[in-house]
Amino acid sequence: MKVAFSKPMERKRKQNSFVKEMKTNWVLYLMALPGIAFFFVFNYLPMGGIIMAFKEFNFRDGIFGSPWVGFSNFRFFFRSAAFPSVIYNTLLLSSLGIIIGIIVPLYLALALNEVHHKMVRRVSQSVMIFPNFISAVAVSVIVYNIFSYKFGVANQIRGRLGLDPRDWYTNSLEWVVYYLIIRTWKGAGYSSIVYLAAITGISPELYESAEIDGANRIQQIRYITLPGIKSTIVILFVLAVGRIFTTDAGFIWLLIGDRPSLLEYMDTIDTYVFRMVRGTPNVGRTTAIGLLQSISCLIMVLVVNWITRKVYPEGAIF
Amino acid sequence: MNSIKINNANLEKHVKRSFSDCVWKWTSYAIVIFFALICLVPFLLVIIILSLIPQNL
């Protein structure tokens, strides 16, 4: 039977339950406090800066003194010549990155799960994680040493084979492939740990019974492993889709540098903002683009999560 | 007495299963070792470059 309370009584009851909850679990809340403080200082406080997206910011008048310009900063981005290509490139790089970023680590985790030789497994797993700890700058230097026209290893090999040296920094579409390969090389080993952890969580009894039923390894992977880690895959996919409108501008710029010939497919929203900031910095416009990115990503997460909740409720984040 | 009966069809299936398992196992080993070696490339490059620097430099 539901007991009806009057409004002041209801409020008092809620307050009491809140105080009771705090008294009971105060240690847990104390532990959560540094995390809450971190997110408040670094994620919520800077949100006040969003106001700059609607202002013609100048350093003399500051954030609050600068004149309001409404949506003109947003209009500038929508009307700029680079807008369609920048959006297309961002979506192209991100979506290919998401697909490859799921398939390769997943496949690596499945393969690692098959390796029963302890030393091979441990050594290869450790080695696979190494590239993740190499900084983007070091990676770009390695890549430059491979593709440089004069000193690059690639052209040295071509020379040994009797071929003419090639300028590798001219075809933009080629660099989409290189970028994806380098990104996969850098992150796949590290990402595979998550899938491997999920795989080790599956009960070995399921595999034993499948073996008795006559299932081979491929069938075991298809009917036990993949369904067992389905929720992990879906959650990671939803989280990845939440970053679909963002790319690593620093990494892209370190790879291609100031080469206009490579911008055709490599110029994303972030590199566009980076170029704007390097040219004539207009804080209002760059903030507006950043805000648009965040809103688009939020919408994408909400939509994908909503679809996931309808199709596969276990994989939904909220 | 209870014993496991293996007829011709089962035997064929068993042989096929073993073969596919073997292929999958060694493919996995090959992939893991290949990827691990690729991950080592920059470190090998550094070693090669360091070894190429003249000692009197």
Residue A170 C-alpha, separation from nearest chain B C-alpha, in angstroms: 24
Distance from C-alpha of A248 to C-alpha of A270, rounded to nearest angstrom = 7
CB contact under 8 A, B40 and A185: no
- Which among B29, B48, B56, B28 is positioned nearest to A153, based on CA atoms? B48
B25-42 per-position pLDDT tens digit? 899 999 999 999 999 887
Interchain CB contact of B33 with A (< 8 Å): yes
* Class of A85-315 in CATH: mainly alpha
CB nearest to A127's CB, from B27, B31, B39: B39
Interchain CB contact of B23 with A (< 8 Å): no
> Residue B46's CB: how many other CB atoms inside 10 A?
12
Kindly tell me if the per-residue pLDDT of B1 is higher than 50.
no
Contact of A189 with B35, CB cutoff 8 Å: yes
What are the C-alpha distances in Å from A38 to residues A41, A45, A101, A183?
5, 10, 28, 29
Supply the pLDDT for residue A299. Answer: 94
ipTM of the complex model: 0.78
CB nearest to A111's CB, from B20, B32, B43: B32
CB contact under 8 A, B21 and A217: yes
CB contact under 8 A, A217 and B25: yes
Residues of chain B neighbouring A189 (CB-CB closer than 8 A): 35, 39
Supply the pLDDT for residue B2. Answer: 52
**Mutation choice for A interface testing from B32, B43, B44, B49 by most A CBs within 10 A:** B32
Domain boundaries, chain A: 85-315
Supply the pLDDT for residue B8. Answer: 57
Interchain CB contact of B40 with A (< 8 Å): yes
A40-83 per-position pLDDT tens digit? 999 999 999 999 999 999 888 988 899 999 999 999 999 999 99
Give me chain A's average pLDDT, please.
91
**Mutation choice for A interface testing from B13, B28, B49 by most A CBs within 10 A:** B28
Regions of chain A short of the pLDDT cut 50: none
